[in-house]
Structure 1
Amino acid sequence: MFWSPVVAAAALGAVSVVAAPAASAAGGGIAVMSAAAVASFTPYAKFASAAYCPANKTRTWTCGSNCQATPGFIPHASGGDGDDEQYWYVGYDPTFLEAVVVGHEGTNPHELLPLLTDGNIVRRNLDPSLFPGVPSSVEAHSGFQDAHAKAAKDVLAAVQEALAAHKTSKVILVGHSLGAAIAVLDAIYLPLHLPSSISFTAVTFGLPRIGNSAFADYVDAHAHLSHITNKADPIPTIPGQGLGFAHPNGEKHIDESNAWIACAGHDNPNTECSTGAVPTIFSANLADHDGPYDGVTMGC
């Protein structure tokens, strides 16, 4: 879950008039994904869902059905308290992804501090101590940056440990909602502090907009991202385009028929993509936010 229904509806209503352009001939660039391509995202969804579980559960990989569905996973570290700091974990998956996996929790709507984090939409430059060399034109949501910073150094240390232990050069970053935003920030943070021989892939679910168009361009140039959106979920449409926010490339949208559509470009306005599918609050359905994503519903 990202925001409470009341907060999300208010935010969407405040920006929907200017957030989503109407679908038109300019909203092309879509392609139906194959069943095999869709199925390839299922392990990522299970790992993203597991991130909602408390740190003591992911540290021992005893987090219920999602842990049972990913046997052989070797946890290395976990942290967070689900309130001031989102839960996170780092481990190695030898079975499905053959990579180090970093998972970040989305918002717990029953806790106050994550809701305040989500609502802090003022954009600012990225912290140069965490993101050295990133151009000053790149701006991102203050709340998401604060949430990322709380665990950034601990996650980096755990990733370094896992990479060394398993002699791998692949890192996968996953998350849903607020966790998705943190995962994308990780996807540009970690490469700045690790050898260039390491490859990074971010796969996120229900991703809100994180930054301005320069941020989206920076992600396109420096990260390999797939962000999956579900039907009429309003969260990927906020904060609004009218407030200067933009999505990076890489959207895969689940339409009302449950087909998966690859959507080209930033905020593709085609009605088969999230921006076009949810033009106003009256088109939104917050129940779609948690999924299912190819059968996986987010949550511990």
Structure 2
Amino acid sequence: MERHRWLTVAIFACLIVFSVGRELRLNHKHSDDAISFNHTLAEILVEYASAAYISDLTELFTWTCTRCDDLTQGFEVIELIVDVQHCLQGYVGVAKSLNALIIAFRGTQENSIQNWIEDLYWKQLDLMYPGMPDSMVHHGFYYAYHNTTIRPAILTAVDRAREFYGNLDIIVTGHSMGGAMAAFCGLDLAVNYNSQNVQVMTFGQPRIGNAVFASYYSKIVPNTFRVTNGNDVVPHLPPFYSYFPKKTYHHFPREVWLYNVGFGSFVYQVEKVCDDSGEDPSCSRSVSGKSISDHLVYYDVELSSPGWRSCRFVMDPPLAASYGTSDPNGNQVFSRDPGISLIRLKEQLVLDGKGSGAI
């Protein structure tokens, strides 16, 4: 029995040695194009994606929420966008530790995720992407970024940040539907704003276009990773049909699949960097992909709202009055000049006395 136990430990140790590779090297066809997947960056960005679900806008805007610490301490939000009309939320800010501008999008609210997933099974490619012949995309995801208050507010924040901080790297992230919006945002910045330093990393992202679109995307935004987890159902949607290669949805590369290996109580999470096809059959496509629970936790970080709520938000009234603007539909944008100290802003809140108001 003792011998068997030590044999188990030895085998598990070997698995760890061969699977760790915290920073894994990609095998592109051209070595000069090689880009590394950075495990540490992934653990940081998943926290930014998680914070996008916070509905207490005071805590999010001042970066004092329970999800606004750990690996993201010191982050400064300069723009917070809440599209109440379409139940969307995102923010832009500066992570000085990364020397980068972070853009993060919230995913689908968990109280509607089951219906949203069922709806995705039937979604068709129904929109030509501008300027990319034969590229078809999912109009719902495209419109969520391009035809709401989200895009103009994001681009305004990027311009203001560049004026103050110079040419920072731009990292775009999001989970679930937020990952789809992040992909369209990264592409938009590269195509329409000639941004050369755009990175995109998404978590549990659905497919958003066909194979032609995926090919264009991978050339324009090569520094992109889609992290998938175990049997997460959403990366399997909308469905991929290999026998209709020109008509079906198709993921763009590159996927990094998280899955567990081990024996009994010895379990270890492996990061597998997949091939450059976008649809590697040995990665998440190798499993059934029917789990919602695997969709809601990545790297042990929760990716859902802290409490059940509809598309309502809370903001401290003095803060909303000082930094917020709204349109006739009730959509809100909260902007902070990068030159205004976040410490000063927090001190003002203390003087005012933090209140709350539903938006």
TM-score bin (small chain): 0.7 to 0.9
Q: Is the 8 A contact 2:210 2:248 kept in 1?
A: yes
Tell me which residue corresponds to 2:91. Answer: 89
**Is 1:268 the counterpart of 2:280 in the alignment?**
yes
Q: Does residue 139 of structure 1 match 2:145? A: no
Cα distance in 1 between the residues matched to 2:178 and 2:214? 17
3-state DSSP class of the match of 1:299? coil
What is the rounded CA distance, in whole Å, between the counterparts of 2:116 and 2:234 in structure 1?
A: 13
Between 226-235 and 37-46, the greater mean CA deviation after superposition: 37-46
Q: CA deviation at 1:125?
A: 3.3
2:186 aligns with 187
In structure 2, what is the equivalent of residue 5 of structure 1? none
- Counterpart code for 1:269: P
- Counterparts of 1:270-289 in structure 2, within 5 Å, are 270=282, 273-278=283-288, 284-289=290-295
Identity score, percent: 25
Structure 2 counterpart SS, 1:180: helix
CA contact (8 A) 2:117 2:234 kept: no
Report Cα offsets for 1:158-186 as digits up to 9, x if no partner.
11111222113310000000000000011
User: For residues 67 and 85 of structure 1, do their structure 2 counterparts lie closer, same or farther at Cα, with a shift above 3 Å needed?
Assistant: farther
Is 1:220 the equivalent of 2:215?
no
Tell me the equivalent position of 2:254: 250
Output the amino acid matched with 1:34: G
State the distance in 2 between where 1:291 and 1:116 align: 17
What is aligned with 2:64? 62
Bigger relative contact order, structure 1 or 2 (CA pairs below 8 A, ≥6 apart): 1
Rounded to whole Å, the distance in 2 between the matches of 1:126 and 1:175 is 23
| TM-fit CA distance, 1:107 | 0.1
- Write the letter of the residue equivalent to 1:252: V
Match of 1:26 in 2: none
Deviation at 1:285, TM superposition (A): 1.9
Query: In the TM superposition, what whole-angstrom CA distance separates every residue of 1:89-118 from its partner, at most 9, and x where no partner exists?
Result: 0000001x2100000000003259x94996
SS in 2 for 1:160: helix
Of residues 259, 273, 278, the one that matches 2:270 is: 259
Indicate the residue corresponding to 1:47 in structure 2: 48
Q: Name stretches of at least 5 consecutive residues in structure 2 with no aligned partner.
A: 1-17, 24-37, 242-246, 262-268, 306-359
Cα-Cα RMSD: 2.4
- Whole-Å separation in 1 of the counterparts to 2:270 and 2:136: 33
In 1, distance between residues paired with 2:104 and 2:62?
Answer: 14
1:35 match: 22
Alpha-carbon contact 1:51-1:89 (below 8 Å) kept:
yes
Query: Would you say 1:104 and 2:105 are equivalent positions?
Result: yes
What SS does the aligned partner of 1:256 have?
strand
Task: Check the 8 A contact 1:125/1:137 in 2, yes or no.
Answer: no
Give the equivalent residue in structure 2 for 1:123.
125
For structure 1, list consecutive stretches of 5 or more residues without a partner in the other structure: 1-30, 129-133
Q: Using the alignment, how far apart are the partners of 1:256 and 1:76 within structure 2? A: 38
Find the aligned partners of 2:117 and 2:159 in 1 and give their Cα distance.
31
Instruction: Indicate how the Cα distance of structure 1 residues 118 and 61 shifts in structure 2: closer, same or farther if over 3 A, else same.
Output: farther
For normalisation by structure 1, the TM-score amounts to 0.78
| Structure 1 counterpart of 2:163 | 164
Aligned twin of 2:207 = 209
The alpha carbon displacement at 1:193 in A equals 3.1
Which secondary structure state, in structure 2, belongs to the residue aligned with residue 65 of structure 1?
Answer: coil
TM-score (norm 2): 0.65
Name the amino acid aligned to 1:268: D
